[in-house]
Structure 1
Amino acid sequence: MIRTRFAVTLATMAVTALAVTASPASAAPGDTVNMCASALTPDGWVDVQWWNSAGCGSGFTPNMKQIKDLRGYPVGTQVNACASAWPPAGWTITSTYYSSGCRYSAVPSFNPNTWTLKRTS
């Protein structure tokens, strides 16, 4: 049991380290990266999907997310993003709605959990 927990912990750390080092450094607008939910979404990025992954631990709460780079998009661009992280500077929330892909809680509801964002500056 201890070996299993150690292996899972080690795998989680490796996945998190890989996701964090692979993200913002060489990204272009619209690039996506998958990472464990325990890692913070970097500045200029938004969460776009959540799910469960054995590589990021266990439990009922979604523990894996896909993030999208919004840096470099022109003014007027619209994107959809989960409401689990605030929009970057220069982006405005224009509408909210429910999406099953953005359930980031163990106790999901049908309340709006997704935003349409528009680049305003």
Structure 2
Amino acid sequence: MFRIRHAAAMATATAAVFALSTGPASAAPGDTVNMCASALTPSGWVDVQWWNSSGCGPGFTPNSKQIKDLRGYPVGTQVNACGSTWPPAGWTIVSTYYSSSCRYSAVPSLDPNTWTLKRTS
């Protein structure tokens, strides 16, 4: 049973990676995609939420994330993003704070884990 669930989780992760490798080119600023945490966040995107999903495998560590496309926003735009990925080029961290939706560790703390980002160039 574990092998079947693991294979299904891997197939889902592979499909998400394939969708991201073909989809973001046509994505609009602010588009979001849900994916397993085992897949890397693509360039120009940031993590905006984390949670645990049985579809991405067993365990207590958050294993699913929602990512947001930041490409194409005008200068001056501000967005909130989890501190689990670095801001893309042209974005600057203007503030930090704690958010329960950005807990990406099995041993979370109340330290700031979320950023307000501003498009500067």
Shorter-chain TM band: over 0.9
Q: Distance in 2 between matches of 1:99 and 1:71?
A: 24
CA-atom RMSD in angstroms: 0.8
SS of the equivalent of 1:22 reads helix
Q: Please report how far the alpha carbon of residue 79 of structure 1 lies from its aligned counterpart in structure 2 after TM superposition.
A: 0.1
* Number of the residue aligned with 1:98: 98
Counterpart for residue 22 of structure 1: 19
* Residues 24-33 or 63-72, more deviating: 24-33
Specify the code of the residue in structure 2 equivalent to 1:26: S
Q: Equivalents in 1 of 2:64, 2:49: separation in Å?
A: 8
Query: What letter is aligned with 2:40?
Result: L
Tell me the amino acid that sits aligned with residue 91 of structure 2: W
After superposing the two structures, state which structure 1 stretch, 17-26 or 36-45, moved more: 17-26
Match for residue 32 of structure 1? 32
Give me the TM-score of the superposition, normalised by structure 2.
Answer: 0.94
For residues 75 and 87 of structure 1, what CA distance do their matches in structure 2 show?
14
Structure 2 residues without counterparts, runs of 5 or longer? none
Q: Equivalents in 1 of 2:6, 2:93: separation in Å?
A: 37
Residue 26 of structure 1, CA deviation: 2.7
**d(CA) in 1 for partners of 2:103 and 2:70?**
21
| Residues paired across the two proteins, number | 118
**Matches of 2:119 and 2:30 in 1, distance apart?**
13
Secondary structure of the residue aligned to 2:80 is: strand
| Superposed CA offset, 1:19-53 (max 9, x none) | 11222233111000000000000000000000000
Partner SS state of residue 116, structure 2: strand
| Identity score, percent | 80
Q: Distance in 1 between matches of 2:59 and 2:91?
A: 33
Post-superposition Cα deviations, 1:35-88, rounded to whole Å, max 9, x if no partner, equal 000000000000000000001011111000000000000000000000000000
Distance (whole Å) between structure 2 residues aligned to residue 77 and residue 14 of structure 1: 36
1:78 is aligned with what amino acid? Answer: Q
Residue number in structure 2 paired with 1:10: 7
- Per the alignment, residue 115 of structure 1 pairs with 115
